[in-house]
Chains A and B, each alone.
Chain A
Amino acid sequence: MPADKATRTVASMQTAIEIKGLSKRFGAVEAVSDLDFTVATGRVTGFLGPNGAGKTTTLRMLLGLINPDRGTATFAGRTYRQLAHASAHVGAVLEHASFHPGRTGRNHLRVLAAAGGHPPERVDDVLDQVDLTDRADRRVKGYSMGMRQRLAIAAALLGDPQVLILDEPTNGLDPPGIRWVRDLVQAQARRGRAVLISSHLLFEVAQSVDDVVVIADGVLRADGPLDQVLGGGDEVTLVRTASSQALGDLLDKEGLAVTPDGDDTLLVAGAAPALVGAVAAEHGVALTELRAQTRSLEDAFLTLTGDRP
C-alpha cells in the first residue's frame, strides 16, 4: 500500500504522535532519514524493521533523549521535553531498560514516581498490575529478564499515560510473557490509549497491532493498517519467465509493484494473473508459470524491509 494513502487513513483518527521529516546521522551513518508517520489514539501501532533499521533512534528522538538533525517528533504538537507533565502523558519502555542493580524494584518505582510527581500509592498499583508485588522488595540485580521487563513496564505505567511506547518489549520474554505484553497493549488501546510498539520480529506483534509502520535503513517503507500494508490477502501474482528482466520493466511501466524472487521469477503485487499475462502477451514474452499467490505477513514484511532472501 502506498505510504501516503496509509498515512491519510491513520490521520483521519485522532493523532497522538506525529513524526515529520525526522532525520539523524551518527558520523557517516544516516540512522534515520526524513521519516514521516503518525500514531493514532485507541490503536496499537507496530513499529517494525530489522535490527539496525533506526527504530530505537527514532523512539529516542521522540522521547527527547537524542537530538534530531532535522524534523520534529511531537505529542499533540509538543515535543517530549515541552510536555508539562511528561511521564503522565507518555510512558516508555526502552530497549536495555535501566535500573540501579542495588535498588529494590519498589524503590526504583518510588524514585520515578517522586521525579514524575505521581502519587506514591501508584507504586503499589503498578506493581500489582505487572504482578510483581511479592518480589518488589528484592534488589533488581536478582531479577530475571522477564521481571526486569515487567518492572520497566510498571515504571512506564506510573503516570497512567495517554501514550505508551514500548521498544522491543518482548526481548528475552518467554511465551507467557509475550502473551502478557500482548494483552497489556490491547487493554491499553481499548482504554483509548495510543500504543507504539517496536519490534524486529513481526510474528511477535502481528496478533496485537492494528497499524504498522515499517522502516529499513532509516527510511520509511510503508505505514497504515496492518492488513493493508502487510495484508496476507493482498493479490500477488507469481510469474516465471526466462525474460524476467524485460517483463519486470514492462510491468513497472504499467505502474505495478514488481519484486524479483530469484533469477527467473517475479512477484507482482496488486495485480491478478490475467493482467500480468495480458502484459506479457502484448509484448510477446513467453511465460513458464503464471499463478496467484497469497503472501504471508512475513513475506510481505521481508519484502518491504528488503530482507527477503
Chain B
Amino acid sequence: MNALLQAELLKLRTTRTFVALTGIAVGTSVLIAALVAILTEPTRDSVLTDVFASDTSSFLILVLAVVGISGEWRHHTITSSLLAAPDRLRFLGAKSIAFAAAGLVLSVLTATVVAVVGALVLSVRDLPLPALAELLAQVGRNAVLAALLGAFGVAIGALLRNQIAAVVSLLVLSFVVEPLVLALAPHVGRFGPLGALSVSAAGLPPEAAGIPEDVDLVGVLPAMGLLLVWIGAAFAIAALLLQHRDLE
C-alpha cells in the first residue's frame, strides 16, 4: 500500500492541475478573508467565522479528486496503473488516502496564509482577533473536512468515470440538489454530504453558509462520522463496480 500511496502522491505532484488548484484555493480563500477583514467590522464573537473560516480548499480538493480519478479513464492511465499494481481495491484505497492527505495539506496551507493575511489586516484596522486555540480548532476542523471530501471525491469519480459528467454532477449536487432538499425537507437535507454535513463538520453556524437558521444541523463530530458513512458507502459501491468492470 505504501508503494501505491507514493505513486498516487507522485501523480498529484507531477501535473499542473494540482498546482493550479492549490493556487486557486489559496488565492480565493485569501481574497475572501482580506475583503471581509477590510470591508466589514467583525466583532470578537464573529471574527473567527467571518474572516478565518473562509477556506475554499475543501470544495476544491473535492473537485480535484473527482478530476483526478476520472482522468484515469479519460487518459486511459487506469490501464497502466492497474498493470503496475493489479489489485483494484488497493488502487482505489491508495488514491483515496492520497487525496485525503492532499486535502489536509492544502487546507492547512490555505488556513496558514489566510491567518497571516487576516491577522495583518485586522491588526492594522485595530479590530479583534480570535483566540489562538479557537483559530487552531477551526483550522483542524477545516483540514479534517478537506481530507474527508478528498476521499469522497475519489469515490464519486470512480463511480461516474466520465470526467465532464462527474464534475457537472458534483456541481449540480452541491449547488442545486442539496440546497433544494434542504429547503423542501430540512430534516433530510441536513444529512446531505456536500452542504449541511460539510458546514456542520467545519463547525460553522448555518447562516454563515447560507443555510436557514431554523435548520437543525448535527454536531461537528457526528457530522464527521456521517461523512465517513457517506464515504464508506460510495467507496464500497465504487470498489464493487471497479472489481468487475472490464477495462477495454
Which of A57, A66, A100 touches B77 (beta carbons < 8 Å)? A100
Q: When chains A and B are docked, how far (Å) is the Cα of A80 from the Cα of B81?
A: 14
Binds B, one of A105-113, A203-211, A239-247, A284-292: A105-113
CB distance from A218 to the nearest CB of B (A): 15
> Interface size for chain B: under 10, 10 to 19, 20 to 34, or 35 or more residues?
20 to 34
Instruction: Choose from A64, A98, A110 the contact partner of B76 (Cβ within 8 Å).
Output: A98
B: which residues have CB within 8 A of A?
3-4, 6-7, 10-11, 14-17, 71, 75-87, 244, 246-248
Chain B residues near A117 (CB, 8 Å)?
Answer: 3
Binding site for B on A (CB under 8 A): 57, 60, 63-67, 80-81, 83, 86-87, 92, 94, 96-104, 107, 110-112, 114-117, 155
Are A81 and B84 in contact (CB-based, < 8 A)?
A: no
Q: Nearest-CB distance from B242 to chain A (Å)?
A: 12
Q: In the complex, which residues of chain B have a beta carbon less than 8 angstroms from the beta carbon of A87? A: 83-85
Q: Are A103 and B3 CB-contacts (below 8 A) given A66-B246, A86-B86?
A: no
Cβ of A117 to closest chain B Cβ, rounded Å = 4
User: Residues of B contacting A63 with CB < 8 Å?
Assistant: 83, 86
Q: Tell me the interface secondary structure of chain B in the complex.
A: helix
A81 (CB) vs chain B CBs: closest residue: B86
How far, in Å, is A36 (CB) from chain B's closest CB? 22
Residues of A within 8 A of B85 (CB): 86-87, 115-116
Q: Is B14 a contact of A60 with CB atoms below 8 Å?
A: no
Asked if B15 contacts A100 (CB within 8 A), the reply is yes
* Bound-state Cα–Cα, A97 to B11, Å: 17
Q: Is the CB of B10 within 8 A of A111?
A: yes
Complexed CA–CA distance, A98 and B71 (Å): 11
Contact B246 A114 (CB under 8 A): no
Q: Which of B3, B80, B82 contacts A155 (CB 8 A)?
A: B80
Q: Which residue of chain B is the closest to A159 with respect to CB atoms?
A: B84
Are A64 and B80 interface neighbours, CB within 8 A?
no
Residues of B close to A92: CB separation below 8 A: 83
Closest to B91 in A: A115
Within 8 Å by CB of A98, from B3, B80, B244, lies: B80
Jot down 15 A-B pairs with beta carbons below 8 A, ordered by A. Answer: A60-B247, A65-B83, A65-B247, A66-B248, A80-B86, A81-B86, A94-B83, A96-B76, A98-B79, A99-B80, A103-B14, A111-B10, A111-B14, A114-B3, A116-B3
Residues of A within 8 A of B246 (CB): 60, 65-67
Given contacts A115-B3, A155-B80, contact A110 B10 (CB under 8 A): yes
Known: A98-B76, A100-B15, A100-B77. A112 touches B82 (CB 8 A): no
Q: Once the chains are docked, how many angstroms separate the CA of A87 from the CA of B84?
A: 5
* Complex Cα gap A85–B78 (Å): 18
| Inter-subunit contact B82/A114 (CB<8 Å) | no
Q: A87 to B246: give the CA distance in the assembly, Å.
A: 20
Min CB–CB distance B129 → chain A (angstroms): 41
B16 to chain A: closest residue by CB: A102
Contact B79 A94 (CB under 8 A): yes
When A66-B247, A115-B7 are in contact, do A103 and B84 touch as well, CB less than 8 Å?
no
B244 close to A67 (CB less than 8 A)? yes
Contact A111 B11 (CB under 8 A): yes
Q: In chain B, what residue has the closest Cβ to A65?
A: B247
Instruction: Using CB atoms, name the residue of chain A closest to B74.
Output: A100
- Most B Cβ at <10 Å: residue of A67, A97, A111: A111
User: Judging by beta carbons under 8 Å apart, are A107 and B86 in contact?
Assistant: no
